[in-house]
Amino acid sequence: MVAGELARVCAMEAVQIALTELMPKQERAAAAPAEGERGFAGSIPFVEVSDFDLQPSVVAMIPAKLIRQHRILPLRLSGSRLTVGMVSPRNTGALAELRRTLPTVEPEVVAISADDFAQAVVRLRVHGVLQEYPEAVPPAVTLKALTARIKVLAGLDITERRMPQDGRIGLTAGKRDVDLRVSTLPANRGEKIALRILEASGSTRQLEQIFFEQSTLQAVRRALNRPYGGILVCGPTGSGKTSTLYSLLNERKITRPDTNIMMVEDPIEYRLAGVTQVQVNTAAGLGFAQALRSLLRQDPDVIVVGETRDADTAVLALEAAMTGHLLFTSLHANDAMAAFQRLENLGCSRALVAQSIALVLVQRLVRKLCTACRTLEPHPPALIEALIARKVMDAAQSSAPLPRAVGCDACNRTGYVGRAVVVEAFQVTDEARAALASGRPLAQIAPFAITSRALLPFAGYAAALLQKQVISATEVLAALVE
């Protein structure tokens, strides 16, 4: 019914627009609302926020709460007339509240897109999701001064505004040592600055706090106890690969304290006691491959390559894993078969891949449910059907209640606290190794690996997290989008 009504309204508006276009120019001008009469009764122009020079003093005229609640954005003040962009420009309640808040100005309403509004508000990425910050930057604080101060603290060149720069700010919050990674990027309105918060204590979590599915946890520990072989941690950018690598390394340090561990990274994310860490310096000619060759002459037991990017590094790392070293490395790949394909594209033969790799972990980050307010309840049939189609649950479980986010003070009313990984794990068993070495197409190996339980796909891992009420059904679907 709603869809039909929406289609009817859209059709009526299309007819009105078509008739207006056929009118002579003089009649169209007469039919258009006067400059002072533009509002909900007539047509509302659509504008782009980028066409306006947003002034902090103008933005500060409307309370932040009102801006967030009604998605209102003050764009320009001309005398007593305030041009206001609204995502829902026919919201009479929002306009009435705006007039009560600013009785001395006359609002002129224009329509803006939701994307424009989201890009214009001062937001923070919390657990991977951009959230609106409750307070705008005070008008007294100029953005240029704020940018310059951050660049000074990060040891960057404040006069360089045409090229990207990277730096870091070290600080102590109570007893916690925190690193702020600073990245600047030239943009059309100045410089965009991103601050990434890293805490050394968060890099050494227990494996039980990362891998909630038991068969995956057991496979990880078996690979860690091997004297040699490669462990690949894969996933897209920002999926937590480095954090997982450090946690794996920490477990190896605890179980085998006599291990000589050497790392090559770009950059060094965390300082680890008892580990030799080498920083890549491309300007001086020290890349991953050059550093790895030197590492192999230092008699290491464990080698950690922060990221396998090029052919030389890939071949050297896998050869080291085959000849008596335990290798940890990360790779950009969206699933286990893509990881093997990526290694082949980097010049590694199928035989080398089969003999050197012990375990492939591909991970994606999802938001964890808040344990203080999560609830179990039946879900819409469409959502259940989507979960069944993705093999997260079967039809016999369709009536079972599923966890859902609610929101409370503990989670800032979001329903989520922290993030978890959804993992696809491929254990290179003897059967899987033989299949890889035989040269069979990777598309044929995946079904065989699932049948032989060498491969646990994302759906199986997500089902375990759903059953343990770690994540919600909607987060499951988000993680399984290809």
| Overall number of domains in the chain | 3
Domain final residue pick, 108, 133, 158: 133
Read off the pTM.
0.69
Do 413 and 364 belong together in one domain?
yes
pLDDT at position 11 is: 38
Percent residues over pLDDT 70 in the chain:
85
Do 255 and 111 belong together in one domain?
no
Do 166 and 120 belong together in one domain?
no
Going by DSSP bridges, is the β-strand pair 416-427/402-404 parallel, antiparallel, or unpaired? unpaired
Residue 112 lies in a domain: yes
CATH number of 71's domain: 3.30.300.160
As given in the structure block, the two tokens for residue 206 are 């227990």
* Confidence band for 39, pLDDT divided at 50, 70 and 90: very low
Q: Decide: 237 and 128 in contact? Cβ < 8 Å.
A: no
Residue 10 lies in a domain: no
Do 174 and 289 belong together in one domain?
no
The contacts of residue 474 (CB under 8 Å, 6+ apart) are: 383
- HSE-CB at 462 with a 13 A cutoff on CA atoms is 28
Residue 67 lies in a domain: yes
Residue 12 lies in a domain: no
pLDDT tens profile 266-301: 878 777 888 899 998 888 888 889 999 999 899 899
Do 246 and 295 belong together in one domain?
yes
Give me the domain span that covers residue 176.
Answer: 142-200
Mean pLDDT, rounded, for 388-392: 88
Q: Decide: 9 and 1 in contact? Cβ < 8 Å.
A: no
As given in the structure block, the two tokens for residue 42 are 């007539």
Q: For residues 459 and 481, what is the distance between their CA atoms, to the nearest angstrom?
A: 11
Residue 9 lies in a domain: no
Q: Decide: 300 and 325 in contact? Cβ < 8 Å.
A: yes
The pLDDT of residue 7 is above 60: no
pLDDT tens profile 428-461: 999 999 999 988 888 889 898 999 899 999 999 9
Residue 414 lies in a domain: yes
- Residue 327, phi then psi, degrees to nearest 5: -110, 135
Domain final residue pick, 133, 161, 183: 133
As given in the structure block, the two tokens for residue 390 are 């993705």
pLDDT tens profile 170-221: 888 777 778 888 999 998 878 888 888 877 665 678 899 899 999 999 999 9
CATH number of 324's domain: 3.40.50.300
Domain final residue pick, 154, 179, 200: 200
Do 236 and 104 belong together in one domain?
no
